[in-house]
Structure 1
Amino acid sequence: MTIRILVADDQALIRGGLVALFTAVPGIEVVGEAGDGAEAVELATRTRPDLIFMDIRMPVLDGIAAARTIFATDLEPRPKIVVLTTFDLDEYVYAALGEGASGFLLKDTAPERILAAVHTTMAGDMLITPSITQRLIEHSSRHHRVSVVGQPQLTSLTGRELEVLRLVGMGLSNEEIARRLVLSAETVKTHVKHVMAKLGLNSRAQAVVIAYETGLVVPGTAEQS
């Protein structure tokens, strides 16, 4: 299956480099390139990409607003968005993940890792380093810490779905969750999809935040079994 990609970055050199990289790889098709957020929204609506590489800081409409607008459309299937940033401490990264982006990449990431990121994201896994995940969790926990008790958004989940959400929150991939629960990876993928749909989430990163915010996972225990 061909992966259709849209590249949005106001820096022509970065944008052109990504387009050239993707164009040279079999199984990937670049369906458009945008120089600002408004153009990214227009192209996303018209070309319906599977994956968007979106710069955060762009003119007319920044990457966060563009992602929010795209996620608010009726595009089906909903495109996945990987945000591009210059610094891993960029405060906008947190906002972008909160809007439903699937992860982020630094603009100086090596080409082979960018290509690996395409498949990681399309497989439904997070594209966030553990250190950034921890900072995201701490940032969110400081502002939204609540108890899992009486949290209505979790009452719609089955026991198995709650367990899958907990393990997603601990940073495990679908394959790792499958081994932990003695299930097939495809079954875990289905459970993750159900969790996302029931909780109205756009990305796995949001599921991690929910797991911490509701107390399903406690900060400092993410690596425990």
Structure 2
Amino acid sequence: MTGVITGINGDILTVLSDDDGNEKDYDISKAEVSQEFPFSEGDLVEIMFPYETTEDPVPAISVEVLESVIAQNTDPSATGTVKEADDTTLTLEMEGESYSINIANAYVVAADGIAAGKEATVTYIGDLDDEAMAVKVVMEDSYDTEEAKLNAFVGKVVQSEENNIVLESANEDFYTFVSDDTDFTKYSAGETLRIFYTGTITDKEITADKVEKLK
């Protein structure tokens, strides 16, 4: 059975079936669960259960998340060892393979800077095999910090209006940030800003939470 999660109460998932339109509770306490992110209302799941069971809630045998709401609102990340790094590029080694990542626009969280030989988690967009662009680099010495939980983007102002602003990345892509609580007109073209945001950097309009002027 495939369906959409409409409620979560501990080990009980309420799911609206795509097959017959019925909504039922499923007990997943003994189920084999396949997921990358925590359950969220709106997730599309596939559930296996005993065919003729009359129990309520229905005892699930297995649960697989087919589409995750959290995943759709989260930029991908990769964890590996920093092989080398400069102001614009980081080489990350994972499972014997090396990947060159553009970090010119990245929000860096590191107590002692980006250091070769240390582990890092890089949040990025694009393809790792084709010099992806990092939006956040967190070194292992800062994994447990509050700063590591935030998302931010660094870029140059291209244009600004009262409720939105456009930043340009080093590779000449443009990102539009919006907020009803921030007057972006005080920032001028050419200035470098760090904007903390909610959601994913690939959204058409990115929700800005806080703005810092860097230069």
What TM-score does the superposition give when structure 1 sets the normalisation length?
0.25
State the TM-score, normalizing by the size of structure 2: 0.26
Q: Which has the higher strand share?
A: 2
Higher helix share: 1
User: Larger Rg: 1 or 2?
Assistant: 2
Instruction: Indicate the structure whose relative CO is greater, using CA pairs within 8 Å and at least 6 residues apart.
Output: 1
